[in-house]
Amino acid sequence: MRIVSGIRPSGELTIANYLGAIKQFLSFQKDKNNECFYFIADLHALTTPYSPSKFPKTVLDTLALYLAFGLDPKKSVIFLQSKIHEHAELTWLLATITPVGQLSRMTQYKEKVKEGNPSNAGLLFYPILMASDILLYKGESVPIGDDQKQHLELTQDLAERFNSKFGKTFPIPKAFFLEKNYSRIKSLLNPNKKMAKSNPDEAILILDSPDEIKRKIKKAVTDSGKEIKFDLNSKPAISNLLTIYSGFSDKSIEELEKEFQNKSYSEFKESLIQLLIEKLIPIQKKYNEFIKDQENLINILEKGSLLAQKTAYKTLLEVKQKMGLEL
């Protein structure tokens, strides 16, 4: 099975990024039947405000975290999106068979504009770029959360439309839904919002110090009552903390409910603090080792990009031949 997925370079990943995506990437990588393509989506990042001077460091920081988590360039193809010009070229070719109305109805486009991001053509075309990322490598399975379902549906539409118009070229990629509990880890201060690094107090960052982890978990909101029980309707805050605990301990929610049956919120939080520190410190140590050797990081991206380009070149050549662009 060929797996394709990417993550925007932010330099500061949260525990939500780990539980919702990267933990699943590691699981796919372990299966020898899978061929994994994981990329740093730097072209995606251009659709929202960013700092050009800080961007190269952000890319390397993201890669160092990838490696610290356990992604292995010997087992997965790890590359930088912008190094493969075929991504942009296929995006244009697919744009010629994409109705503008379909793009303007994309929920994420509307949300980004509502948040104050510039309503530019790049943001509008963003879903086509995401489709190109998948179809360029003829991805068969795509790890997504619920909020990305619409983007994958567009990818499927484009694959079917292209195949119908020009002849069978692309497999129709199937969704691999990330574990539902982990794909939407909530804010520590507002369990009705997704965890995001934009407000540092709302999120646990992978590189947070033990003191920061302790401070943030202690400040995390809880619900009325004293019972430590998973109930998204009546106890959304404690349910969120239970989900985080489950993700890092690999214990089921039911096991945790029994374990903390007669414990207080403060006792539960203290245990969660110790668990997070125990799990994150080794990742931080590995990150610090990787980030010191930036030449090695660049070399990993270059080697991975060369491997990815071999597949990308073949696919784009086939697409151009089908479209009558090769003499």
Q: Which residues are annotated as catalytic?
A: 112, 194, 197
Contact 81, 42 (CB under 8 A): yes
Query: How many angstroms separate the CA atoms of 156 and 160, rounded?
Result: 6
- In this structure, what token pair is assigned to residue 242? 């239970």
Site of tokens 């099975």: 1
Amino acid at 159: A
Query: How many angstroms separate the CA atoms of 276 and 10, rounded?
Result: 21
Spatial strand order of the sheet with 77-80 comes to 77-80, 35-40, 2-7, 141-144, 174-177
E-strand spans in the chain? 2-7, 35-40, 77-80, 141-144, 174-177
Contact 217, 209 (CB under 8 A): no
